[in-house]
Amino acid sequence: MNRATVCVVGRPNVGKSTLFNKLVGERISITEDTPGVTRDRIYAEGEWLGKYYTLIDTGGLDLEDEDIIMDNIKRQANLAIEMADVILFVVDGRIGLTAADEEIGNMLRRSHKKVILVANKIDNMNVPDEIYELYELGFGSPHIISAESSLGLGDLLDDVIENFPSDTDTEEDEDLIRVTLIGKPNAGKSSLINNILGEERVIVTDIPGTTRDAINTYFEFNDHRYMFVDTAGLRRKRSIEENVERYSVVRTLAAVDKSDICVLVIDATEGVTEQDTKIAGYAHEAGKGIIIAVNKWDLIEKDGKTMGDFEKQVRSDLIFMTYAPIIFVSAKTGQRVNNLLELINVVNNNYNLRIKTGTLNDIINEAIMNNQPPSDKGRQAKIYYATQASVRPPKFVIFMKNKDLMHFSYKRFLENRIRYYFGFEGVTIWLDFKERQRGE
């Protein structure tokens, strides 16, 4: 995907994530006055004057820090810089040039990429004298902005799009399959994405909760375009202490809302947990396509019944989503990861499947002949006809008389008949019964 790409780089707490959120028009990156809040590369689509581009936020760089998380942040930032066509080097315009800024500037010069210097946090027309120190970095005149107040962003974006290479793609991308990985911390969501991509895209350590943001990654495979979203694992409420982690929960739920398909990643060594059930229930209620991926399957001792017994237990624990396919994978060894991609395509096709009205009514009429709708004290529920109102998820409207007699068991019977003919694997089906008299 030769999408024009812009990368936001700088030391911690200079307002990179605030700028990122303003440029994409959403609160995607977590912003708080805590250095190091953004750890991974976070992707989103930006647009200016009809030109679309990929914007990447990166973790704050402290090149002197040798902490394991900071080492990962540096590696992620270097990868983002390597991918970028234009780099936004963000500094705090109020305090002028710092030693950390100089070190980052030296690193960016070695990249031989187009670097635009951005002096952030200037909220009024009184430009401080410290701004003139920034010319020493050698990147020309800084763009003076306030990301928080949206000052100066138009001129900045004009400069950005003027520096896109002529061979990059800036057209709107409408065919993305949006896939969100959900599940408890340390289930292997980040490792699974890294295996799919074939690169260390998301920071992976043995520290639960390493992923704080919902992290977007664009990917193309076999003529299909995907956006994979890695989310922070949901913990029990009593385990959530930091404000940043509370924000991460909100980001996770928002990522589910925006997705087409959710892959629930379950740790095979632990089975389905309370947190898994809660986030799966949220995705189910939101009507998302759902796949259950049992990860770390390489760590399980097996006999001829292991997989079947495990699947029965998962079905019992997640009884409200029997339609969701289960796949056993290993992010570490790559076992069945390609099968997961194929399954995502199958579920996405089902998510967008539309049944012709005539065919749908043939199915409903056959169901009525084999099993009459409920009746009570001489009153009979009567179904006239059905139509599919929408897709993503598939929603069917059934017009009938005496809908108050409709029992949930008969609704389930009708859903099962639709699934018998069309499958809809991985997809919830919504049935909406509407009262209608025959003469209407």
Note the pTM of the prediction, 2 decimals: 0.63
pLDDT of residue 253: 74
Q: What is the rounded distance in angstroms from the CA atom of residue 71 to the CA atom of residue 63?
A: 9
- CB-count burial class (<10 Å; 0-12, 13-18, 19+) for 350: buried
**Six-digit token pair at 312?**
């029965």
CA dihedral 74, 77, 78, 81 (to 10 degrees): -160
pLDDT of residue 231: 77
What is the b/e burial string over 285-297, where b = at least 16 CB atoms within 10 angstroms of the residue's CB?
ebbbbbbbbbbbb
pLDDT of residue 87: 95
pLDDT of residue 380: 92
pLDDT of residue 275: 85
pLDDT of residue 168: 79
pLDDT of residue 245: 40
Helices 243-258 and 274-285 cross at an angle (nearest 10°) of 40
Residues of the chain predicted below pLDDT 50: 1, 29-40, 201-213, 236-247
pLDDT of residue 174: 63
Q: Which helix (H) or strand (E) holds 88?
A: strand 86-92
pLDDT of residue 68: 64
Q: What is the rounded distance in angstroms from the CA atom of residue 100 to the CA atom of residue 193?
A: 32
Dihedral sign for Cα 237, 266, 227, 427, please: negative
**Which structural domains are found in the chain, ordered by start?**
5-162 (3.40.50.300), 176-351 (3.40.50.300), 357-435 (3.30.300.20)
Judge whether 135 and 117 are in contact, CB under 8 Å: no
Whether residue 393 has a cis bond before it, omega within 30° of 0: yes
**Six-digit token pair at 21?**
């959120």
At 92-150, the pLDDT tens digits run: 999 989 998 998 999 899 999 999 999 999 987 778 888 899 999 999 999 999 999 99
